[in-house]
Amino acid sequence: IWSTLWPLRFHLAKLRRFRTALELYSPAGSNLDVLILSASRCIVLLFLVCVAAGQSRQRSAEHKSLGALLAKATSVCGQLLLLAKCIAIAVLAEGNLWPSSQYNIGIFYMFLPTVIGIVTSITEYFAAPATIEGLQQQHVSIDSEQQEPLLSKPDGGSSIAVDADAPDTAMTLAKLSAYDTPLLLVAFAAGAVAALTAALIPFYTGQIIDYASIEPDVAAFKTVTLKLLAVAFLCAVFTGMRGGLFTVGMNRLNVRIRTRLFQSLLRQEIGFFDVTKSGDITSRLSADTTTVADQVCLNLNVFLRSMTQAAVVLYFMFVASWRLTTISFVLVPVIIVISKLYGAYYRKLAKKVQTELAEANSVAEEVITSMPTVKAHAAELSASASYAARLAKFFSLQMTESLAYSLYMTISTFLPNVTTAVILFYGGNLVLEGSMSAGSLVSFMLYQQSLSNAFQTCSSVFSALSAAVGAADKVIELMHRQPKIQPSGALIPANFEGRLQLENVCFSYPGRKDVQVLNGLSMTIQPGEVVALVGPSGGGKSSIVKLLERYYLPSSGSVLIDGRDAGVYHSRWLRRKIALVSQEPVLYARSIRRNICYGLEAEDGVPADQQPSAEDVEVAAKLANAHEFISMMPDGYDSDCGERGISLSGGQKQRIAIARALVRQPQVLLADEATSALDAESERRVQEALDQLMQSHTVLIIAHRLSTIQAADRIVVVNKGKVEEEGSHDDLMEGDGLYSTLVLTGRECSLLRLPA
Ligand SMILES: Nc1ncnc2c1ncn2[C@@H]1O[C@H](COP(=O)(O)OP(=O)(O)OP(=O)(O)O)[C@@H](O)[C@H]1O
């Protein structure tokens, strides 16, 4: 706090010098020697201000919260200041309020932002202590006069597998934003008007000073003050309009990106989700999309605004005085060169600091992971010493880093102020010669400040914009990712028999390519047949069902439906013909009716005549043995299932899932028999439902209960990714193969249940 407030003393002294200099320009007190003396003192004081500011920056980086608030404070009071400025100048120039000296007006006027800034920051600090950190990290509001770069969220080391030929991010973003072209054009026009009106403010300010003090003219003074107020009002309105419209555009882009990304995710094959962490996907969908929309839009907005502002201000500066404008740019190349050199040096240093920290961490890790050895050999002291030695190196590098930063801040703050002093000196001479009015000089100084702000913002925003576009890469790549399995063919055959075939299928999961799950497996399920898949756990039974569902493609061999490759069929149609009942059904937080009709609603693009009626839902529920318990619920079919079906028991969920499959009126059912967490009564009811299905459908069931297995027409024993044996229960029991062993021992395969 001290180092933030301390420079203000110098700031005050600087302003006093400035005032002295101004007084000397007045016709009564012209004295070149005193002017030069005053200007040189001013330079010395400026240097001290810069040193202090460098220190303060460094400190506020350590104490981020207050530093951030103080930094933000000046921006918050921008519009307020504008109004205060007009009123203060108007009142003071009339001589009604202390201080009455015309030059004190200038001081009051320049000191006001700092005072308001401090008051605002203190208020914010006490008003919202919890959000202080957030204030610094959060994106800045559209209207804020931000100076700090808006760095995009760093990528958290994603493991999302995307295609190598990535689309052009900037182009895609431009295309996605093109939908809002009219909106953005209006926003841009509003921004241009705001910049123009903002540029008129220093112009009128200069005129007010001239009419109030140098060439007193009360009528003109009042008129110009009114003009200033009008311009300030217009500037505020158009700034608000620009900010509002850009925010709307930003939000629309955000929604558009999220929707496209989500649609792309829905197109992806299941294998993609096997190899991608769900945390990565959700972070793409939430944090990254917001980064893209917010950062890109916000930075683009601020960049365009600053460019317009710079262009307009530059024009006004040239009109005011081309000589002074040229002088303003004399030191620019020096500043650029220093920034570049420092940037390169700082990056190198930062890398070294990181490496040294990593070394220190590895020493600590080594000790922590081998604590018993350290203790056993009483090596605590040497362990502590080696860690301390690493930290000492790290600290000394950090000290160099701090010094370099401090020096850079000092120079980079000092140089612009030298420019100010030079302009003041040269401009003062012009005023003394009578070729420029004092008011015009003040106007020019304000323009110069505004221009340097615009340039500073432009440069920081430009680098942030590149970083944001970089962050967008990942989102755009994922948005354009081509699924490895094409979701749908086009074929809807007139006749569908429901013959399922796997021919010499080899298969391994994308997440574990080295493990061959199916090894040249072949089997056929004839229409109307009930086939039970049995075998030891991990043998590959579920994988067969997943291949038939086309969640994955086989590495070799083919999966055929009615003699054709499963991929040629229209997927929506096929999912109605071949329905799936999984072992652990997933229900959604919606009514039971909607859960049963899942995927068959109007939102799913199903024509009205193909959507299940209330009667169809009831019939399916009855077949699934679910109607009874549903009817007993307070809201019947409209009862809510709760998040992931939390308000229902395992058996009830299972039966709803069976109803969900049956409402599609499928010809083939792929079922994974429920084995876990069902009480005897639930199990019996689920079993009854399955038995009923097996009488009227082609069924491939992964069976665990002997009763189900015995009810099947054929039993296929799958082991180690191959069909080990097949036949009826009696046939298989006659031999001494795996099946008979499993049944007789009931131990090797824990899931195969023996009859009571
Ligand atoms: N998504 C996956 N990614 C990688 N490996 C998998 C995946 N799913 C299953 N596996 C592996 O594939 C092998 C076969 O699994 P599968 O689920 O087909 O066996 P199963 O016979 O159905 O077993 P269970 O009777 O226990 O359900 C197992 O070794 C399993 O670990």
pLDDT of residue 15: 55
Reported as type and span, the H/E element at residue 533 is: strand 530-534
State in Å: Cα 718 to ligand 1 middle.
12
Mean pLDDT across the stretch 545-563? 89
Looking from the CA of residue 539, the nearest atom of ligand 1 is 21
State in Å: Cα 509 to ligand 1 middle.
9
Question: Of 8-12, 211-215, 549-553, 605-609, which range is least confident?
Answer: 8-12
- Which residue(s) pair with 556 in the sheet? 506
Mean pLDDT across the stretch 126-131? 45
Confidence band of 17 (pLDDT split at 50, 70, 90): low
Yes or no: say if 701 and 516 are a contact pair by the CB < 8 Å rule: no
Spatial distance between the Cα atoms of 147 and 261, rounded to a whole number of angstroms: 32
Query: Cβ(517) to ligand 1 under 6 A?
Result: yes
Query: Cβ(540) to ligand 1 under 6 A?
Result: yes
Q: Of 96-100, 311-315, 389-393, 691-695, which has the strongest mean pLDDT?
A: 389-393
CATH number of 2-135+163-479: 1.20.1560.10
Residue nearest (by alpha carbon) to ligand 1 atom 30: 538
How does DSSP classify residue 603? G
pTM exceeding 0.90: no
How does DSSP classify residue 640? B
Smallest Cα–Cα separation from 329: which of 306, 310, 345? 310
pLDDT of residue 489: 76
CATH homologous superfamily of 500-745 equals: P-loop containing nucleotide triphosphate hydrolases (3.40.50.300)
* Residue 290 confidence (pLDDT) above 70: yes
Residue nearest (by alpha carbon) to ligand 1 atom 9: 543
**For the chain, what's the residue count?**
756
pLDDT of residue 24: 53
pLDDT of residue 746: 61
Residue nearest (by alpha carbon) to ligand 1 atom 7: 509
State in Å: Cα 502 to ligand 1 middle.
18
Confidence band of 154 (pLDDT split at 50, 70, 90): very low
* Residue 622 confidence (pLDDT) above 80: yes
ipTM of the complex: 0.96
For residue 9, give the amino acid letter.
R
Spatial distance between the Cα atoms of 445 and 428, rounded to a whole number of angstroms: 12
Question: Sign (positive/negative) of CA torsion 101, 105, 110, 116?
Answer: positive
Place of tokens 């070149």: 32
Yes or no: say if 409 and 53 are a contact pair by the CB < 8 Å rule: yes
SS3 271: helix
Query: Cβ(538) to ligand 1 under 6 A?
Result: yes
Question: Of 149-153, 386-390, 634-638, which range is least confident?
Answer: 149-153
Question: Of 273-282, 321-330, 603-612, 678-687, which range is least confident?
Answer: 678-687
E strands, 637-709, in order: 668-672, 698-702
pLDDT of residue 141: 36
State in Å: Cα 553 to ligand 1 middle.
15
Mean pLDDT across the stretch 109-123? 55
Looking from the CA of residue 274, the nearest atom of ligand 1 is 1
* Residue 87 confidence (pLDDT) above 70: no
SS3 579: strand
Query: Cβ(511) to ligand 1 under 6 A?
Result: yes
163-199 per-position pLDDT tens digit: 545 567 778 888 888 888 888 889 888 888 888 888 8
Query: Cβ(542) to ligand 1 under 6 A?
Result: yes
∠ Cα 136 140 143 (to 5°): 145
Spatial distance between the Cα atoms of 274 and 507, rounded to a whole number of angstroms: 15
pLDDT of residue 506: 92
Question: Sign (positive/negative) of CA torsion 26, 30, 32, 37?
Answer: negative
396-411 per-position pLDDT tens digit: 988 888 888 888 777 7
Q: Is the N-terminal amide bond of 510 cis, ω within 30° of 0?
A: no
Which of 403-419 are b and which e, b meaning 16 or more Cβ less than 10 Å from the residue's Cβ?
eebeebbbbbbbbbbbb
Angle between helices 218-267 and 297-320 (to 10 degrees): 150
State in Å: Cα 719 to ligand 1 middle.
12
pLDDT of residue 130: 40
pLDDT of residue 747: 44
Distance separating the N- and C-terminal Cα atoms of the chain:
80
Two structure tokens written together for 728: 């009826």
pLDDT of residue 161: 53
* Residue 108 confidence (pLDDT) above 80: no
Confidence band of 351 (pLDDT split at 50, 70, 90): confident
Spatial distance between the Cα atoms of 15 and 32, rounded to a whole number of angstroms: 19
Q: What percent of the chain has pLDDT over 90?
A: 2
Strands 668-672 and 578-581: parallel
Mean pLDDT across the stretch 244-264? 88
Spatial distance between the Cα atoms of 255 and 119, rounded to a whole number of angstroms: 38
Spatial distance between the Cα atoms of 617 and 594, rounded to a whole number of angstroms: 9
Two structure tokens written together for 372: 């018993």
Looking from the CA of residue 704, the nearest atom of ligand 1 is 25
State in Å: Cα 149 to ligand 1 middle.
49
Spatial distance between the Cα atoms of 611 and 436, rounded to a whole number of angstroms: 82
Query: Cβ(539) to ligand 1 under 6 A?
Result: yes
Place of tokens 């893209």: 292
Two structure tokens written together for 296: 């890109």
Four-point Cα dihedral 669, 675, 677, 678, nearest 10: 70
Residue 292 buriedness (CB in 10 A; 0-12 / 13-18 / 19+): buried
How does DSSP classify residue 580? E
* Residue 40 confidence (pLDDT) above 60: no
Give the chain's mean pLDDT. Answer: 74
Query: Cβ(508) to ligand 1 under 6 A?
Result: no
Question: Of 230-239, 263-272, 417-426, 720-729, which range is least confident?
Answer: 417-426
Spatial distance between the Cα atoms of 54 and 667, rounded to a whole number of angstroms: 77
Query: Cβ(274) to ligand 1 under 6 A?
Result: yes
* Residue 36 confidence (pLDDT) above 80: no
List the domain boundaries for the chain. 2-135+163-479, 500-745
Residue nearest (by alpha carbon) to ligand 1 atom 13: 538
Smallest Cα–Cα separation from 283: which of 72, 475, 78, 510? 475
Two structure tokens written together for 639: 């009862």
499-514 per-position pLDDT tens digit: 899 999 999 988 888 8
Smallest Cα–Cα separation from 470: which of 138, 151, 165, 137? 151
Spatial distance between the Cα atoms of 639 and 614, rounded to a whole number of angstroms: 14
Yes or no: say if 93 and 212 are a contact pair by the CB < 8 Å rule: yes
Most ligand 1 atoms within 8 A of CB, residue of 541, 548, 580, 718 to mutate: 541
Confidence band of 155 (pLDDT split at 50, 70, 90): very low
Comparing 260 with 704, the larger pLDDT belongs to 260
pLDDT of residue 165: 53
Spatial distance between the Cα atoms of 146 and 194, rounded to a whole number of angstroms: 16
Spatial distance between the Cα atoms of 272 and 277, rounded to a whole number of angstroms: 9
* Residue 552 confidence (pLDDT) above 80: yes
Question: Sign (positive/negative) of CA torsion 592, 601, 659, 271?
Answer: negative
**Residues whose CB falls within 8 Å of the CB of residue 87, separated by 6 or more in sequence, listed in order:** none
Reported as type and span, the H/E element at residue 547 is: helix 541-548
Q: What percent of the chain has pLDDT over 70?
A: 73
State in Å: Cα 538 to ligand 1 middle.
5
State in Å: Cα 537 to ligand 1 middle.
8
State in Å: Cα 371 to ligand 1 middle.
39
- Which residue(s) pair with 668 in the sheet? 578, 698
304-336 per-position pLDDT tens digit: 778 888 888 888 888 878 888 888 777 667 777
Two structure tokens written together for 530: 């009930």
Strands 556-561 and 564-565: antiparallel
658-692 per-position pLDDT tens digit: 888 888 888 888 888 765 555 666 667 777 777 77
State in Å: Cα 727 to ligand 1 middle.
24
For residue 585, give the amino acid letter.
P
Q: Where are the alpha helices (DSSP H) in 26-101?
A: 32-62, 64-76, 78-93
pLDDT of residue 84: 53
Q: What is the DSSP string of 340-355?
A: HHHHHHHHHHHHHHHH
Which of 357-377 are b and which e, b meaning 16 or more Cβ less than 10 Å from the residue's Cβ?
beebeebeeebeeeeeebeee
Question: Sign (positive/negative) of CA torsion 212, 216, 221, 224?
Answer: negative
* Residue 94 confidence (pLDDT) above 50: no
SS3 265: helix
Confidence band of 388 (pLDDT split at 50, 70, 90): very high
State in Å: Cα 561 to ligand 1 middle.
23
State in Å: Cα 61 to ligand 1 middle.
52
* Residue 144 confidence (pLDDT) above 50: no
